[in-house]
Amino acid sequence: MAAHVHSVSPQRGHTHAHLALHRHCRSSCLNIVGMLLASAVMESANGYHSEGAVPYGAGRVYRKLYPGVYVPLPTFFNAHGELDTMSIGRHLLNMCSLGMIPVVSGSLGEAVHLDQEERKVLIRTARNVLDANGVADVPIVAGVGGASTRETIRLAKDAIDAGA
């Protein structure tokens, strides 16, 4: 799948997503809109800041979303059907070296096949790899879509705790 340019601009404390919806990737783009809207909900609910990378409590850092290329990362599995965190990390660094911002946690349709812990491991792996390789300022956009509002909020909180 080709990466698409997504522009995110903070205004009046909210995050607004402006996307070009292409016929062949409409569902992927709509998934990204949902993730960004969940981010906006969590911003207003948790008192996040919209300027720069700043601490906001519990040792966490808010990383500003910038205009640019947001690329959905595939979820790699090993021969036993478990997450292949080494391949995930290598691919993540490759995309970041090209200036792309990662969209993690089932953003290519595999989310329905991941359990809650696997989603957290994906995000935690991405954050650990970025931090360990000198690119801690790169934000992670996490897929947090759920079947209900309650589940989406729980997944959004898990994503924040895991480093998104």
Give the CATH number, domain containing residue 148: 3.20.20.70
Residue 81: inside a domain: yes
How high is the pLDDT of residue 59? Answer: 64
| CA pair distance 87, 93, nearest whole angstrom | 10
Residue 16: inside a domain: no
Distance of CA 116 to the CA centre of its chain: 15
How high is the pLDDT of residue 47? Answer: 45
| CA pair distance 48, 55, nearest whole angstrom | 9
Residue 131: inside a domain: yes
**CA 19, 21, 22, 26 torsion: positive or negative?**
positive
Band of pLDDT at residue 21, cut at 50, 70 and 90:
very low
How high is the pLDDT of residue 63? Answer: 86
Residue 12: inside a domain: no
Expressed as residue numbers, the domain containing 44 is 26-162
**94-109: average pLDDT:** 90
**145-164: average pLDDT:** 93
Band of pLDDT at residue 64, cut at 50, 70 and 90:
confident
Convert the pLDDT of each residue in 124-140 to its tens digit: 999 999 999 999 999 99
Neighbours of 126 (CB within 10 A): 27
How high is the pLDDT of residue 58? Answer: 59
**136-155: average pLDDT:** 93
**36-62: average pLDDT:** 51
Averaged pLDDT score across all residues of the chain? 74
Q: Residue 9: is its pLDDT beyond 50? A: no
Residue 21: inside a domain: no
Residue 9: inside a domain: no
